[in-house]
Amino acid sequence: MKGILLVNLGSPDSTSVKDVKNYLDEFLMDERVIDTPYLTRCLLVKGIILNTRPKQSAEAYSKVWTEDGSPLIVISEKFTAKIKKQVDAPVALAMRYGKPSIETGITELANQGVTDILLVPMYPQFAMATTETIVVLAEKIIRDKFPNINLSSLPAFYHKQDYIDVLSKSIQETLEKEEYDHLLFSYHGVPERHIKNSDVTGNHCKLNGECCNTKSDAHEFCYRHQCYATTQGVVEKLNLKPGFYSTSFQSRLGKDPWLQPYTDVTINDRAQNGIKKLAVVTPAFVADCLETIEEIGMEAKHEFEENTGEKFTTIPCLNDRDDWVEIVSNWLNEWLNK
Ligand SMILES: C=CC1=C(C)c2cc3[nH]c(cc4nc(cc5[nH]c(cc1n2)c(C)c5CCC(=O)O)C(CCC(=O)O)=C4C)c(C)c3C=C
Ligand SMILES: [Fe+2]
Ligand SMILES: [Fe+2]
């Protein structure tokens, strides 16, 4: 029997510093997130980051936490509940870090008699720190504990026309309510090094922006290319004019160079150049979470409005909107009916 495992990033169990520390420990000790040799990673994560970051992150989580828990988890659960109504097969939800774990999700499906799983990383764009780490861990669990289960995974959908259409529609709903001077596409960043590491051709990625516009096999796994392709898809669909929109990368951690331009720098720059009304969309996330609600919707909004901006609107992620649920259900039903 076939079954579906939806996977997102995950959140701490609560906003306590202890729970946030445990979560960050699991997250940042992942070799596909902090991709240094093990001892250096231990030194950096356990010796430095975990001494200061958990308190700061716990405060940020407290600002977004709901009665039912982390927004990312609550929204993912609502989305999953709707998907279950649209597909005639067992569906489970898991998180790469924290609970419910990928192993719990696979066990839940196996207990219902599933022998063929479609793994669905809930990220439009491929990244080593997101899609790849989910696939690698799920493969290991299957190999070690469920050798009779067959596993396949849904590739990144950053360019699929139905995804671009629903993302564009969600943006249009904000743009038509009021006139904006600018639309910013803000994607989660990754260290530049990750882009080089994921270059399957070994020599395509130049990190100068040009390579991403040059056709290459490297793009199947190039996060930067895929982010720009998502922006371009929306630009074409909504017929956005050059100068009205830009693309940037948020949420950097540590001192290494991350993908640029940085979102905070871009927002400051736009404010200083006379942009008064700014709408921000965050297409690397399909569910609103700490990074969209707090970092963009609170921190960046505050910065912009302090910096002579007048209106700052965060466009909601696709979350559990029905047209998005329908699109994902179609993809799943296509696989189920194969
Ligand atoms: C959307 C894709 C994501 C990529 C790519 C990604 C890379 C990445 N992230 C960190 C470090 C942190 N990310 C944090 C939160 C966070 N990250 C994503 C998604 C991507 N991360 C989401 C959806 C969230 C929010 C989770 C939630 O519970 O709402 C955090 C924790 C919060 C904080 O302290 O800021 C960290 C840390 C790295 C290092 C990285 C690439 C290497
Ligand atoms: Fe992140
Ligand atoms: Fe590229």
Q: What is the pLDDT of residue 120?
A: 98
Q: 161-314 belongs to which CATH class? A: alpha beta
338 CA distance to ligand 2 middle (Å): 34
Please report the pLDDT score of residue 164 as a whole number. 98
Q: How far apart are CA 301 and CA 315, in angstroms?
A: 12
pLDDT at position 94 is 98
Residues with CB under 6 A from ligand 1: 9, 11, 24, 33, 53, 57, 70, 72, 123, 127, 129-130, 188, 190-191, 194, 251, 253, 284-285, 289-291
* Model confidence pLDDT, tens digit, residues 135-148: 999 999 999 999 99
Class of domain 2-156+322-336: alpha beta
Ramachandran category for residue 328: left, alpha or beta (phi over 0 → left; psi -120 to 50 → alpha): alpha
Expressed in angstroms and rounded, the spacing between residue 287 Cα and the centre of ligand 1 is 13
Residues 6+ apart with CB under 8 A from 131: 121, 123, 156
Q: Where in the chain is the domain with CATH 3.40.50.1400?
A: 2-156+322-336, 161-314
Give the pLDDT score at 141: 98
Instruction: Please list the ranges in the chain whose pLDDT falls under 50.
Output: none
Neighbours of ion ligand 3 (CB under 5 A): 205, 211-212, 222, 225
The overall pTM is greater than 0.80? yes
Among residues 181, 188, 287, which one has the least CA distance to residue 247? Answer: 188
Q: How far is the CA of 158 from the centre of ligand 3 (A)?
A: 14
User: Quick one: pLDDT at residue 210?
Assistant: 79
Q: What is the ipTM of this complex?
A: 0.95
Burial of 155 (0-12, 13-18, 19+ CB in 10 A): exposed
Token reading at 290: 């700490």
